[in-house]
Amino acid sequence: MGRGVTGLILRAMRADDYVFTVLGTETVSEHYHRVHFDGGEFLPRNPWFPTMWVRLWIPKSGNATPDEDEGSLVQRGYTIVDPRGTAFTIEFAIHDGPAPRWALDAAPGDRIAATMMGADLTVPEDPAPSEYVLVGDPASIPAINSILGTAEVPCRVFLEYQHDGERDLPVHADEVTWIARENRGAALVSAVLAAGIPSDAFLFVVAETRATREITRAAKRDLGVPKDRIKSQAYWLDRA
């Protein structure tokens, strides 16, 4: 099965390819699923850091054991959590798409191709942030939790949700502000900006494309947060 143009670009950039083996799966809730992997040489060659992520190559059908002639692959990025030796976990927010279907269908012994392209989380040190402001939704909880587990300053967390059960997902923070998704993310944008972001904070925004862009733009333009104190990544696009 082919990887298309994206695969060709990554190969030209000398990205590293791996094969992960499923060790087991775990259902967290109706909308959240964990898959445990052995990555072989992946972690020994790529020391773990907060927000570390990898591209998985998933059959468009979402079948964990696809036929060779089933068609092309799609790539999806996922955060590596709970590293332990050569093993680790990936958490999937469940929605209609090939990656969640693959995760729900996966069983011990199944294998999946993955690509690692150099990435890191750079936080300014001079001066160090007064706090972290972390913004996302269930899809970005793994990345946010990885920061919460290593942060040495206070953290404020804002998470958007679409299903009531998502508010019960494990977030490693003493206090989380949950915002129901309304008006294509406008409620999340309003809540974050109304709460205020100091110019010496570190802002981490990983949500739907429109909300991510609006929060990032307003933080720089209206709140005076320097560009080097903002890390943003659009995790998905609302096409409704």
Domain boundaries, the chain: 4-116, 132-232
Q: What is the pLDDT of residue 12?
A: 44
- Secondary structure class of 5 (helix, strand, coil): helix
Q: What is the pLDDT of residue 60?
A: 86
Q: List residues bridging with 113 in a β-sheet.
A: 19, 57
Nearest-angstrom CA–CA distance, 109 and 203? 39
Model's pTM, two decimal places? Answer: 0.89
Q: What is the pLDDT of residue 13?
A: 46
Nearest-angstrom CA–CA distance, 169 and 121? 24
Q: What is the pLDDT along the chain (240 residues), one digit of tens a residue?
A: 555 545 554 454 456 899 999 999 999 999 999 999 999 999 999 999 999 999 999 998 777 665 554 568 899 999 999 999 999 999 999 988 999 999 999 999 999 999 998 667 889 888 999 999 999 999 999 999 999 999 999 999 999 999 988 999 999 998 899 999 998 889 999 999 999 999 999 999 999 999 999 999 999 999 999 999 999 999 878 776
Q: Please report, for residues 13, 31, 79, 136, 194, the alpha-carbon distance to residue 162 in angstroms, rounded to integers and kept in the order given.
A: 37, 10, 21, 12, 21
Torsion sign across C-alpha atoms 55, 57, 61, 64: negative
Q: List residues bridging with 56 in a β-sheet.
A: 76, 114
Candidates 66, 51, 174, 150; CA nearest to 113 is 66
Q: What is the pLDDT of residue 222?
A: 94
Torsion sign across C-alpha atoms 88, 93, 142, 76: positive
Nearest-angstrom CA–CA distance, 156 and 197? 10
Class of domain 132-232: alpha beta
Backbone angles phi, psi at 4, to 5 degrees: 70, -160
The DSSP H or E segment spanning 117 is none
Class of domain 4-116: mainly beta
Other beta carbons within 10 Å of 20 = 22
Q: What is the pLDDT of residue 14?
A: 55
Whether the domain at 4-116 and the domain at 132-232 fall into the same CATH topology: no
Instruction: Find the radius of gyration of the CA atoms of the chain.
Output: 18
